[in-house]
Structure 1
Amino acid sequence: MIKKLLSFFAITLIALDSTAMEKLIVNTDSRESISLNGTWHYIVDPYETGFYTYRYKERGEGDREAYWNRPVAKDKLDRLEHGYQKPYSIEVPGDWNSQSDTLTYYEGTIWYQRDFDLRKLKKGERAFLYFGAVNYEAHVYVNGKKLGSHKGGFTPFNFEIPADLLKEKDNFLVVKVDNKRHPQEIPTVNTDWWNYGGITRDVKLLVTPDNFIQQYALQLDPAQDIRKAKKDSRFLVSGSVDLNRAAGKGDVTIAVPELSFERRFPVSGGRLEFEFELEDLGLWSPDSPKLYQVKLDFNGETLTDSIGFRKIETAGKKILLNGEQVFLRGISVHEEIPQQVRRAFSAEDAEQLLTWAKELNANMVRLAHYPHNEQMTRMADAMGILVWSEIPVYWTIDFGSDEVLDKAKTQLEEMIVRDRNRTSVIIWSVGNETPVSPLRTSFMKSLIDKARSLDDSRLISAALEVGYNGDVNRIDDPLGAYTDIVSVNEYLGWYGGLPDDCRTAKWEVAYDKPLFFSETGAGAKGGFYADEKTRWSEEFQEWFYKEQVAMFKRMPDNYSGLSPWILADFRSPRRNHPVYQQGWNRKGLIDDKGIKKKAFAVLKNYYREIENAQ
């Protein structure tokens, strides 16, 4: 409940002690940093010789044969069995699969190494290594000492480097990267995308004050009546600031210069919660992606962020953005650049993928099936594209394992903490196509509860499967009782029957909630032309989309959007037809050469009709 405001800038402050656990550092672009991107050396180590002895015992810290130690020969008789040098070089960020034909299918351990310099730290300064993502398991060492390890291939992490370990010149940095699949991991052994290994996102060396803002959240208060706020032009903003440790004494200053707002909040613990009002605020939307420069200052460090303000909610069977019904004209996207057969990671990559989505007349993207790089969500903010962001709880993970649940919760938290200030993100998804069982539903509900505890300003969903039963397709997955919208993947006419089966299809939903089609699609080999009754032809895919669109036009009033599968062809080891697939999932509306297929125009025209009707 919103407390009664006593004045225009009424404020509620709560100072709480933070825990001692290491937390993710957010908004690294706004901090003093040194990029460690570029050329690294590497060693391919399928037997993990650099990590284990021949008795399969983990090597000790001082073991010269451990690959995290600098290999230095004492004399010409000295025996060394590892080294880092040319031509064994690899680019970071990037996946190893696309950088060497030898490594295309490789799953295992590769050791990455580079040197770095760092100026002498001043009194009261600290240094951290930050990784945007490493797929899948990373062990990080500096100058022969292990800083820590991390699991999860699509979320960021950081480790502090002890000051007494650092040198001004030639610090020896090693990262053990292992992308092997395991039944007890997230995702598990069976997926439908390429297992790109490597240091796939930015690496940075951060320099911070001794006591600093580690995380923060800032958004329109989710409890306020947005229509009343718009009428009065008075908007309640709420949020929090988490310091890396409890402050003895100090102030956090929050400013929005464009609105001539600045407010200082005293803080003595490790956490600050706040509320304040802003007047004459321009709300963010796809039609008007307004962003404000927000500044947060503490202990001599100023963080600057571009933040938009909007409210997303549901009302019965409708999705509302800023109090008005919105239809999600979406498209699913994998984090891949098809023309170069590699992981996407840069701002240029994000611009390519999101520009394709805009050309489709889409106002939304489903970032499947894992959190994409931060460039995507920041670019979506700027371009005015709504975002569904998801963790890779996919298909048949071990729903009975508390250990697996903890890993899923960790990835969920890392996704939300990194992107909860990205206004484009309107949906947190806790998984895709998970098989129905009481154990699974309990597992998934636990994730939903976790997401809401971390961020109650967005919708929560999961991509469900539909139960086909003749002409009536009933959506009654018990997980739908806990999500904010009911999202379902359907492939009528591709995995069963033919596209014209859509003509008699009827839909029933067990829940009085918005219905969203999180996937639909059909495969087509780009440039293969035939009649519409020839599977894998562009004409068949075009026919499929025409029948789908006609069905969608007959949908009941809870129909609130769709994100067909998928924007562009992507690599998958499951897709092995020697002529039409060749290791590619061909359901893209754009082929692996970047050329639009015929079905692209069908969906584009449908979205234009919807846009013009609103």
Structure 2
Amino acid sequence: MRKTHYFLFLFIFINTLISAQTSQEQLLINTYNRPSQSLNGTWNYIVDPYENGYYNYRRDAFDQQENPDVSAYFLNSKPKDRSDRIEYDFDTSKEIQVPGDWNTQDDKLYYYEGTVWYKKSFDYTKTDINNRVFIYFGAVNYIAEVYLNGKKIGMHEGGFTPFNFDVTNLINEKDNFLIVKVDNKRKKEAVPTLNTDWWNYGGITRDVKIIETPNTYIQDYFIQLNPDNNKQIKGYVKLKGEDIANKKVQINIPELKIKTQVTTNIEGIAPLEIKLKKVTYWSDTNPYLYNVTIKASQDELTDQIGFRTIKTSGQDILLNGENIYLKGISIHEENPIKGGRANTLEDAKLLLTWAKELGCNYVRLAHYPHNEHMLRLADQMGILVWEENPVYWTIQWENEATYQNAKNQLTEVISRDKNRAATIIWSMANETPVSEARTEFLIKLMKVAKELDPTRLISAALEQNTNKNNSNVMHIEDPFADYVDILSFNQYIGWYVGLPERSKEIIWNIKQDKPVLISEFGAGAKQGLHGDKLDRWTEEYQEYLYVETLNMIDKIPQLRGFSPWILVDFKSPRRHLPVIQDEWNRKGLISSEGKKKKAFFVLKDFYDKK
């Protein structure tokens, strides 16, 4: 990439980032390594299906009124005397753990979709009177309206991406109260839309913390290898605050004996280019991470960054210039053993350790951005990652607000994870029906992803097509296939189409000269249920399907890996079959009790031989 092209990319990147994050403060990068005060733990909550604490009886929103009524829950009002009428009280209401979903913490909320109010009281003393203070949320599903000390500080839409607010002028040393209205109702115009195949866990599902920064602080940075020159680091550092122009920024990588200084422009952006003499490249077999320290004014931040390149060449995927076969598995963000949405480092370790035991060097995080713990741990364990925007099935393709929502969620996950070596693929969507509006929607998202991050690959989980003249010939007819770097598709021959033996008859005729990743295949099986290999729902049926499917797809010339569906059984309200499903999708290779099924070992043996 020539210098003029790089600065053009930088200009486009910053403007795309700003335009996509208008509903809340621009995202603070690397909160993972910043000093913080946790607001996790016990919160009080009020279930409010009629949204009585948000609207008056005329359906007027309290937070749109100049002098809202004491009935507004975000005011946390208390009776002034014994005759005063206040019809709610957070302090005597039930308690709930944050992070966590409400579905698995209160039996009455198991199926609940609607509004729940959360409240946390806390004290906070700034380390420096001139510093800024932010409240950071890892994720809230789905719409969060956030109030501090009775004042609205902002809102966020999207259940799986982080956001933060500057509360410098609102926070007190004593007796702060943070109130969050959480609404997880599914909506046609939302992303994802009404229809999904996973549990709609509601609540504050990831960490909440207070972060303090100097008045001028490091808001963002991108420090990665130049994809066209693996002996050069390229990127930028972006400052924010009252005094950001002509500021010196130091970047230190002690192990590489790098200590360089760059200067910000009037917008607080400092482009950087660093030549490398000798570097250990990050890979799945050697996940080497360097401590990279950034210092600007009074702010200093350290990150653990791996340097590697990921490209395609014809039908090959190249990691650091060498062919790699992606031995993968798909994963939902759910811990089946303890139940509910996974949200801790221990949850991430459990899931990724199982993937490693399976022989994986790659995981597909479906169907939405996962907790940052997963990406940080994948960096350490040498697991390559596909990250996915929750554009799933039947989005409202012609709705501009829906597109802006999808764009914002994509922007937020790329902003958070663009320095993670493990992340190699940004996926735009899953199983979306082809139409002109849909294809234009995805093309626009793809362009945003490329503008935000030109160092990674683009894909999407497409659908297979049957030849009109011969039902045994399979191919991909999708105009979006022309835009992706990696051609991916889901196929369920032997489960939704015929029986496993049908795989012997299938011929794949894939004309695109691109590497192929099969993003899904699989079959449901109840762990412990045994029978003949043609008895559906048995471990033997699932095992048989894996044997036949692996034989079939291994003959695809362009195949460079796959991620079967799925590592672990997961909750889904679509799955009603008594005794077998009981609201679990049973396609996992590991059961809802953490026990490995027979197909686990079939796939492990295949991977061990690759």
TM-score, normalising length from structure 2? 0.95
Contact residue 117 and residue 171 of structure 1 kept, 8 A = yes
The DSSP-based 3-state class of the residue aligned with 1:335 is coil
| Counterpart Cα distance in 1 of 2:154 and 2:500 | 52
Shift of 1:268: 3.8
Contact residue 15 and residue 272 of structure 1 kept, 8 A = no
Shift of 1:241: 1.2
| Counterpart Cα distance in 2 of 1:40 and 1:386 | 36
- Is 1:401 the counterpart of 2:399? The answer is yes
Structure 1 121/291 Cα, relative in aligned 2: closer, same or farther at 3 Å? closer
Shift of 1:402: 1.1
* CA deviations over 1:146-197 (Å, ceiling 9, x no partner): 000000000000011142x221111011000000000011000000000000
State which of 386, 389, 392 in structure 2 corresponds to 1:388.
Answer: 386
* CA deviations over 1:184-212 (Å, ceiling 9, x no partner): 11000000000000000000111111111
Q: What's the counterpart of residue 137 of structure 2?
A: 131
Q: What's the counterpart of residue 576 of structure 2?
A: 576
State which of 239, 242, 263 in structure 1 corresponds to 2:238.
Answer: 242
5 Å-filtered alignment, 1:516-595, equals 516-556=517-557, 558-595=558-595
Q: What's the counterpart of residue 50 of structure 1?
A: 53
| Counterpart Cα distance in 1 of 2:413 and 2:3 | 30
| Counterpart Cα distance in 1 of 2:126 and 2:282 | 43
| Counterpart Cα distance in 1 of 2:8 and 2:305 | 21
Q: What's the counterpart of residue 232 of structure 1?
A: none
5 Å-filtered alignment, 1:199-214, equals 199-214=204-219
* CA deviations over 1:25-67 (Å, ceiling 9, x no partner): 0111322311100000000000000000111110135321101
Q: What's the counterpart of residue 502 of structure 2?
A: 501
Contact residue 111 and residue 177 of structure 1 kept, 8 A = yes
Contact residue 15 and residue 268 of structure 1 kept, 8 A = no
User: Could you say what the CA RMSD is over the residues aligned between the two structures, in angstroms?
Assistant: 1.8
Contact residue 140 and residue 149 of structure 1 kept, 8 A = yes
Runs of 5+ consecutive residues of structure 2 not aligned to the other structure? none
Shift of 1:597: 0.3
Of 544-553 and 482-491, deviating more is 544-553
Shift of 1:3: 5.2
* CA deviations over 1:261-318 (Å, ceiling 9, x no partner): 1111122422111111122100000100000000000111210100000000000010
The DSSP-based 3-state class of the residue aligned with 1:526 is coil
* CA deviations over 1:489-545 (Å, ceiling 9, x no partner): 000000010001011211112311111100000000111111111000000000000
Q: What's the counterpart of residue 91 of structure 2?
A: 85
Contact residue 13 and residue 265 of structure 1 kept, 8 A = no
Contact residue 216 and residue 299 of structure 2 kept, 8 A = no
Structure 1 256/13 Cα, relative in aligned 2: closer, same or farther at 3 Å? farther
| Counterpart Cα distance in 2 of 1:54 and 1:568 | 46
Contact residue 73 and residue 88 of structure 2 kept, 8 A = yes
| Counterpart Cα distance in 2 of 1:505 and 1:159 | 54
Of 112-121 and 203-212, deviating more is 112-121
Shift of 1:15: 9.8
| Counterpart Cα distance in 1 of 2:147 and 2:71 | 14
Of 410-419 and 117-126, deviating more is 117-126
Contact residue 2 and residue 223 of structure 1 kept, 8 A = no
State which of 163, 177, 181 in structure 2 corresponds to 1:172.
Answer: 177
State which of 220, 223, 227 in structure 2 corresponds to 1:222.
Answer: 227
- Is 1:265 the counterpart of 2:262? The answer is yes
| Counterpart Cα distance in 2 of 1:347 and 1:329 | 23
| Counterpart Cα distance in 2 of 1:15 and 1:540 | 54
Of 492-501 and 13-22, deviating more is 13-22
| Counterpart Cα distance in 2 of 1:14 and 1:500 | 52
Structure 1 475/15 Cα, relative in aligned 2: closer, same or farther at 3 Å? closer
Of 453-462 and 84-93, deviating more is 84-93
Shift of 1:468: 2.7
Contact residue 14 and residue 271 of structure 1 kept, 8 A = no
**Runs (4+) of structure 1 moved beyond 4 Å?**
11-21
Contact residue 140 and residue 159 of structure 2 kept, 8 A = yes
| Counterpart Cα distance in 2 of 1:480 and 1:527 | 40
Q: What's the counterpart of residue 97 of structure 1?
A: 103
| Counterpart Cα distance in 2 of 1:493 and 1:363 | 26
| Counterpart Cα distance in 1 of 2:482 and 2:68 | 55
Contact residue 9 and residue 451 of structure 2 kept, 8 A = no
Contact residue 459 and residue 484 of structure 2 kept, 8 A = yes
| Counterpart Cα distance in 1 of 2:32 and 2:295 | 15
Work out the number of aligned pairs and report it.
593
Shift of 1:120: 4.2
* CA deviations over 1:424-460 (Å, ceiling 9, x no partner): 0000001000000111111111100110000010000
TM-score, normalising length from structure 1? 0.94
Shift of 1:121: 6.0
